[in-house]
Amino acid sequence: MHNNSIQQLSGFGPLAGLPCYQLNANGARVVVSAYGAHVLSYQNAAGRELLWLSETAKWQHNSAIRGGVPICWPWFGKAAAEFAAEASGVPNHGLVRTAFWQMTQQHISAEAVSIGFSIELAELPWHKNAGTDNQPVRLDYLLTLSDELKLQLHCDAVMMQQAALHSYFRVPQVEGAIVSPLPQQCFDKVNNNTLHLNQTQLQFHGEIDRIYPDTANTLTLLTANSATALLTIAQQGHDASVLWNPGHIKAAAMADMHPGAAAEFVCIESARLALEPQPLSLTQIIRG
């Protein structure tokens, strides 16, 4: 019988002094930081690490942590003009990756362990909350560890908001890693054009940065020489999935990627990218 628990840590891996919580459930382990509500590690009950974290990741001096599961909100990538028209110098991937979140709940049972975080943001220039004197917008995040890891990001505000759970998954070798099933059309950010494809999977080779619209509710990650899934990613509330690896050349120029890092991971991101004002409820479930 396993002792399910939550314990506090100071630092994890290369991230010295980082305030973290470790969730233990039925032999599996998750480490999440209050900084960015950032999941850093998910080790399954068999002891296999499913997430990738850079050996040179940083968090001090307002740095975004490289690896794990960053939360991108309220925009993805470079802020669209609709968000940034009244702001300058806003960071890529939004405002919450480098902010401390408040831990709001913990729950431990024989079946699962969960922890919740929230953050409030005021003075979002594109969002005018009529009738409430522009009250802060609250974002909630719930992690539940059982025989899978369930990540739920939620915001009740009816406003323009994009989000992505930007998961870095560890692979034995990136070349030939396969994700399926995928739509036969995507936007290729490397070449800045729309691709019309004759296949329903992506096999990683070199730099990949693609947005696939309206992806399936479950994606599978395989290695090149195995028919057995390395893991599956279930997703809800999304309208796209983003697949990314910077390739060796770009990765070598990133100070927070250790040598050879690009060969060790693929990003499979559950995303909600529409710009219509609406509440947010985005879920990613990792099984492996």
Q: ∠ at Cα 242 (98, 172), nearest 5°?
A: 90
Task: Determine the average pLDDT of the residues in 237-242.
Answer: 98
How confident is the model over 20-48, as a mean pLDDT?
A: 97
pLDDT mean across residues, the chain: 93
Confidence (pLDDT) at 49: 97
Q: According to the model, what pLDDT value does residue 122 have?
A: 85
Query: pLDDT grade, residue 224 (50/70/90)?
Result: confident
Question: Does residue 1 surpass a pLDDT of 60?
Answer: no
Whether 170 and 265 have beta carbons less than 8 Å apart is answered as yes
Low-confidence winner among 15-19, 34-38, 78-82, 253-257 (lowest mean pLDDT):
78-82
Proportion of the chain above pLDDT 90, given as a percent: 86
Q: Which CA distances in Å does 260 have to 39, 64, 102, 257? A: 22, 20, 35, 8
> What's the whole-number mean pLDDT along residues 3-27?
97
Smallest CA-to-CA distance from 20 within 59, 76, 77 is with: 59
pLDDT score for 131: 46
45-71: b (≥16 Cβ within 10 Å) or e:
eeeeebbbbbeebbbeeeebbbbbbbb
Mark out the alpha helices in 85-168 (DSSP H runs).
none
Quote the percentage of the chain above a pLDDT of 70.
95
Provide the token pair at 138.
């609250």
Nearest to 97 by CA among 192, 164, 181, 45: 164
pLDDT of 132: 55
Better-scored residue on pLDDT, 161 or 123: 161
- Out of 53-67, 75-89, 120-134, 274-288, least confident range: 120-134
pLDDT at 99 (0 to 100): 96
Residue-by-residue DSSP string for 258-270: -TTGGGGEEEEEE
Residue 115 falls in which region: left (phi positive, over 0), alpha (psi -120 to 50) or beta? beta
What is the maximum alpha-carbon separation in the chain? 58
Q: What is the pLDDT of residues 76-87, one digit of tens each?
A: 998 888 886 655
**CATH numeric code, 5-287:** 2.70.98.10
Q: How confident is the model over 142-186, as pLDDT tens digits?
A: 999 999 999 999 999 999 999 999 999 999 999 989 999 999 999
Q: How confident is the model at residue 114 (pLDDT cuts 50, 70, 90)?
A: very high
Residue 130: per-residue pLDDT: 45
Q: What pLDDT shows up at residue 203?
A: 95
Is residue 198 exposed (0-12), middle (13-18) or buried (19+ Cβ within 10 Å)? exposed
The region, left, alpha or beta by phi > 0 then psi within -120 to 50, assigned to residue 239 is: alpha
Nearest 5°: the CA angle 190, 191, 193 is: 120
Q: Where are the domains of the chain?
A: 5-287
Alpha-helical runs (H) found in 118-164: none
pTM above 0.85, yes or no: yes
Band of residue 62 on the pLDDT scale cut at 50, 70, 90 = very high
Which whole number is the average pLDDT over 21-30? Answer: 97
